[in-house]
Amino acid sequence: MSARRSSSLLAITLLVLGMALSVSGQGPERGDAIRAEDKRSGYSFVSPETRAMQDDDLANPGFLWVLEGQEIWRTSAGAAGKSCADCHQEAPASMKGVAARYPAFDARVGRVINLEQRINGCRLQRQQAPALAYESRELLALTAYVALQSRGLPVQATIDGPARASFEAGRAEFLMRQGQFNLSCAQCHEDHWRQQLRGLPISQGHGNAYPAYRLEWQTLGSLQRRLRNCNIAVRAEPYPYGAQEYVNLELFLAWRARGLPVETPGVRR
């Protein structure tokens, strides 16, 4: 075979391969090609032992943070000397359904924010207390405690109106190839979910169980921590915690996981 013919053959092969690899999420809604009846929480991709750990509130280490969150809820903080309970009374009543609709557009700051940012909003504005850092014990505890009050309720974030731009930005983030490995979220979690990656099945990439206790972390962690792990896994530079790119992506993921139950605090590997 002449050099010219073999290089055209190579070019055609690469073109076809490139086209095949670029058709991720070309369904009716890009980034949401998994059929409704096939939509499954990460719960179904972990081992029976890990599921058993999540199912028993006493065996679930996430409840250690929930317990702390419950105490923080009742503790006065900041210059205003107020506790969450002072405004919101009992969390099981006042916070029911809240986590299920986050991330959400917040009129006061004029953008979509996630639950952690909403909690910090209260800290800064109402309690006049300093914001809590991502992955701090206190923020994880409060977020887990608030999200627990939505456990079992279907994830249902609003993507219309003022949230639309953020949603579309999140979708673009989900579909974008990134990192040294040049992989997008969709390529693993839309195109190859349930297939094995080094001995373990790939999940659909839903965030409905977060903050979650990951065995790998040996601690509770936020969805952003998990997303940063994915960035690093494909050798992409992660955004800083609290970046709007992550919040946009969280909103897109919440829409993608719509209907799945909130499982916080989940247990994952």
- Nearer to another protein (CB atom), residue 141 or residue 155: 141
Q: How far apart are CA 149 and CA 155, in angstroms?
A: 13
User: Between 230 and 259, how does the x/- string for binding to another protein read (CB under 8 A)?
Assistant: x-xx--------------------------
Is position 74 an interface residue for another protein (rule: CB under 8 A)? Answer: no
Instruction: Compute the radius of gyration of the chain from its Cα atoms.
Output: 21
122 counts as catalytic: no
- Asked if 20 interacts with another protein (CB under 8 A), we say no
* Residue among 80 and 232 whose Cβ is closer to another protein: 232
Query: Should residue 67 be labelled a site residue for another protein when binding is judged by CB under 8 A?
Result: yes
Closest approach of another protein to the CB of residue 199, in Å: 5
Active-site option among 84, 122, 188, 230: 230
Position 52 contacts another protein (CB under 8 A): yes
Q: Supply the minimum distance, in Å, between the C-beta of residue 70 and another protein.
A: 10
157/253 with CB nearer another protein: 253
Q: Is 229 in the site for another protein (CB under 8 A)?
A: yes
* Closer residue to another protein, CB minimum distance, 159 or 230: 230
Nearer to another protein, 153 or 202 (CB): 202
Q: How far is the CB of 234 from another protein (least distance, A)?
A: 8
* 3-class DSSP string for the chain: CCHHHHHHHHHHHHHHHHHHHCCCCCCCCCCCCCCHHHCCCHHHHCCHHHHHHHHCCCCCCHHHHHHHHHHHHCCCECCCCECHHHHHCCHHHHCCCCHHHCCEEECCCCEEECHHHHHHHHHHHCCCCCCCCCCCHHHHHHHHHHHHCCECCECCCCCCHHHHHHHHHHHHHHHCCECCCCECHHHHHCCCCCCEECCEECCCCCCCCCCEEECCCCEEECHHHHHHHHHHHCCCCCCCCCCHHHHHHHHHHHHHCCCCEECCCEEEC
Interacting positions 111-140 with another protein (CB under 8 A): none
* Pairing outcome for strands 266-268 and 219-221: unpaired
Which of positions 195-214 make contact with another protein (CB under 8 A)? 197-200, 202
Residue 59 in the binding site for another protein (CB under 8 A): yes
Active site residues: 230
Q: Can you give the binding site for another protein, defined by CB under 8 A?
A: 46-50, 52-53, 57-59, 61, 63-65, 67-68, 181, 197-200, 202, 215-216, 218-219, 229-230, 232-233, 269
